[in-house]
C-alpha cells in the first residue's frame, strides 16, 4: 500500500506540485517592476537566466546587444538604481505569446516628471521559466535631464 501511494505521489502529484510552484511570465514581469520600485537589483536579476542577453533598439533600426550575462545585468541595474534613486515603473499592458511576454510600462526617473516615458520590453523565456533575452524599445528622450 505504501509503495502504491509513493508511486502515485511521484507520478501524479509531484508534477502537479512543481507546476504550481513555477513562476508565471506575468509574475516575472511584475517582479521586475517591483524590484525597480524597491531599488532592489538582486530581486530584479533573480528573474533572468545566467546567459541573459539584453538588446536595445537603435537609431539605425536594428537591435544592438548591450548586456551579456547575469553579472553584467546585475551591475547595470545596480548602477541604474543608484543613479536614479527616485525612479519608478508602472505596467501598462502585458501580452503573452508562446515563450514571450511583451510588457509596455511607463517609467518616471524623477517624481517631478508629470508623464512617464513609454518602454516596451519583449522577454523571451527559456524552458526553466527564466528570461534569457530582452529586446527593449524606449523613447529617445528617456534620460534627458529636462524630463
Nearest to 87 by CA among 37, 44, 43: 37
pTM for this entry: 0.81
Confidence of residue 139 (pLDDT cuts 50, 70, 90): confident
| pLDDT at residue 77 greater than cutoff 80 | yes
Confidence of residue 11 (pLDDT cuts 50, 70, 90): low
For residues 139 and 118, the answer to whether their CB atoms sit within 8 Å is: yes
| pLDDT at residue 21 greater than cutoff 80 | no
Domains along the sequence of the chain with CATH: 24-138 (3.10.450.50)
Amino acid at each position: 500500500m505504501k509503495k502504491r501511494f509513493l508511486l502515485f505521489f511521484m507520478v501524479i502529484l509531484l508534477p502537479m506540485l512543481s507546476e504550481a510552484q513555477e513562476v508565471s511570465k506575468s509574475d516575472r514581469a511584475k517582479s521586475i517592476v517591483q524590484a525597480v520600485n524597491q531599488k532592489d537589483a538582486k530581486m530584479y536579476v533573480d528573474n533572468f537566466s545566467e546567459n541573459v542577453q539584453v538588446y536595445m533598439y537603435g537609431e539605425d533600426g536594428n537591435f544592438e546587444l548591450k548586456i551579456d550575462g547575469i553579472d553584467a545585468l546585475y551591475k547595470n541595474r545596480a548602477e541604474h538604481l543608484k543613479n536614479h534613486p527616485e525612479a519608478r515603473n508602472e505596467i501598462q499592458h502585458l501580452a503573452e505569446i508562446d515563450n514571450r511576454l511583451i510588457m509596455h510600462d511607463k517609467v518616471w526617473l524623477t517624481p517631478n516628471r508629470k508623464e512617464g516615458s513609454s518602454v516596451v520590453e519583449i522577454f523571451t523565456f527559456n524552458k526553466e521559466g527564466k528570461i534569457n533575452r530582452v529586446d527593449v524599445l524606449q523613447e529617445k528622450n528617456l534620460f534627458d535631464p529636462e524630463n
